[in-house]
Amino acid sequence: MSHLDAVLARLDADLDASLERLFHLLRIPSISTDPAYAADCRRAADWLVEDLAGMGFDASARATEGHPIVVAHDRSASGPSALFYGHYDVQPVDPLDLWEHDPFAPFIQTRPDGTRCIRARGAADDKGQVMTFVEACRAWKAVAGALPVPVSILIEGEEESGGKHLPPFMRAHADELRADIGLICDTGMWSAEVPAITTMLRGLCGEEIVITAADRDLHSGGYGSAAANPNHILARILADLHDDRGRVTIPHFYDGVHELPEAIRRQWADLGFDVEGFLGPIGLGVPAGEQERSALEMIWSRPTAEVNGMGGGYQGAGFKTVIPSKASAKVSFRLVFDQDPHEVRRHFRDFVRARIPADCKVDFIEHGSGRAQAFDTAAAPFEKARRALSAEWGVEAPFIGCGGSIPVTREFKEGLGMDVILAGFGLEDDRIHSPNEKYEMESFRKGARAWARILAALAA
């Protein structure tokens, strides 16, 4: 039996224990955006350090002004080195009443057809995915006494809250962290049967606007129509963001947006994306967005403007005849190709200001931003990883795009000069960021086996 076969057998034999470990991590409510959970974020980091140190990594939790960053090394092997990245923080759980169980009491659900999944906040994004890699390392060390290649692990706690501490940390510790290739497990497969490597990520620009009209809330009979209503102003601005063909109307918004290279367009067309299969399960059937674009383009290679939250006036029970003083909205832009997040922010602010009446005011609150990124799949490790994924699932793994953002990947390229292989095992219906998040048991099991294969392939 080869080392790899023994490692794969070990992973299968150790599945129950590995689930126990994952459940331990899932029980910690490491919600990074809410300061009330700061101690839990630290607990999650400490748990990972202990687990990694226990299997022989030189591991520590590095303090930042935000949540700690876990760094671990095992460089006893020779050959090309890898830096794995993941995040231990999770999204908030609200609305809590839509969960069918406690988000931080993980359990295994068995469906009538015998398939199983792991239910908990963070099961798919990203604790379950992080542990696929950790378990692969554990199995290699247990079976072969060493990893096939030198490995460093970087697990942060601010990915979900646009934290700013990781990029400067990576720059300050570039020599410690730099490796020949980056590995990230925070993305999805093409489908439940087909694994994939993600080669493009969209960028992001988050912006909050607060419109103030009168200096207090007013009686809508006493002041209505004479006093400006910030809800109306806000609604008009937000409605103006798109034309009736679904295009974003902010001047210069499409600067830096290119058409897909022909080779990628053909490759994506061959994937045979099923729009009904994509929208049907979420209760929809008609793609919104830019009318002349395919749904796959919309989510992978076109920019968006989305209103993520809006508020103003009375939203309690019953009814209140009020003209509010303030109205606000949180807007995010997904960016592609060479769009510059700072320029997008500037043009958006101009667009908003031009629509504010002279006696009203608008304040802007800047949220996180980052550029889109694409990886050159010509580098040899991409083909090695693709073959390893294909071997595990028994089908050819395609290169795919991704609608989401993992802003730190830019830091790998620009700060450390590294390419990154994004191999993740999430599925569209994992409900990441939503109530009742889950991770397929097969994603966890095969994901760990796939990393074991990828580590072996990188050494070859």
Binding site for ligand BES (CB under 6 A): 125-126, 159-160, 162, 186-188, 204, 368, 402, 404-407
> CB 211 → Zn ion: shortest distance, Å?
32
> CB 226 → ligand BES: shortest distance, Å?
41
What amino acid occupies position 319? F
Helices 341-353, 230-240: axis angle to 10 degrees equals 130
Q: Supply 217's token pair.
A: 């809330």
> CB 47 → Zn ion: shortest distance, Å?
18
In the bound state with Zn ion, the residue whose beta carbon lies nearer, of 123 and 456, is 123
Using rule CB under 5 A, residue 126 touches Zn ion: yes
- Choose among 91, 1, 25: nearest CA to 444: 25
In the bound state with ligand BES, the residue whose beta carbon lies nearer, of 294 and 332, is 332
- In this structure, the number of other CB atoms found within 10 A of the CB of residue 85 comes to 28
Q: Which residues contact 296 (CB under 8 A, 6 or more apart)?
A: 268, 271, 273, 401
- Choose among 186, 138, 136: nearest CA to 450: 136
Indicate the SS3 state at residue 203.
strand
> CB 202 → Zn ion: shortest distance, Å?
14
- Is residue 135 within 8 Å of residue 66, measured between CB atoms? no
- The entry of Zn ion, ligand BES, none that residue 187 binds, CB within 5 to 8 Å by partner kind: ligand BES
- Is residue 229 within 8 Å of residue 213, measured between CB atoms? yes
- The entry of ligand BES, Zn ion, none that residue 415 binds, CB within 5 to 8 Å by partner kind: none
Using rule CB under 5 A, residue 125 touches Zn ion: yes
Binding mask 184-213 for Zn ion (x = CB under 5 A): --x---------------------------
* Cα(78)–Cα(459) distance, integer angstroms: 8
Name the maximum alpha-carbon separation found in the chain. 85
In the bound state with ligand BES, the residue whose beta carbon lies nearer, of 74 and 156, is 156
Q: Which burial class, exposed, middle or buried, applies to 208 when counting CB atoms under 10 A from its CB (0-12, 13-18, 19+)?
A: middle
Q: Which stretch binds Zn ion (CB under 5 A): 180-188, 202-210, 260-268, 435-443?
A: 180-188
In the bound state with Zn ion, the residue whose beta carbon lies nearer, of 184 and 389, is 184
Q: Supply 370's token pair.
A: 């980052």
- The entry of ligand BES, Zn ion, none that residue 106 binds, CB within 5 to 8 Å by partner kind: none
In the bound state with Zn ion, the residue whose beta carbon lies nearer, of 406 and 455, is 406
In the bound state with Zn ion, the residue whose beta carbon lies nearer, of 212 and 373, is 373
> CB 20 → ligand BES: shortest distance, Å?
24
* Cα(322)–Cα(317) distance, integer angstroms: 14
Percent helix / strand / coil, the chain, rounded to 5? 40, 20, 40
- The entry of ligand BES, Zn ion, none that residue 435 binds, CB within 5 to 8 Å by partner kind: none
- The entry of Zn ion, ligand BES, none that residue 80 binds, CB within 5 to 8 Å by partner kind: none
In the bound state with ligand BES, the residue whose beta carbon lies nearer, of 186 and 440, is 186
The residues that touch Zn ion, with contacts defined as CB under 5 A, are 125-126, 186
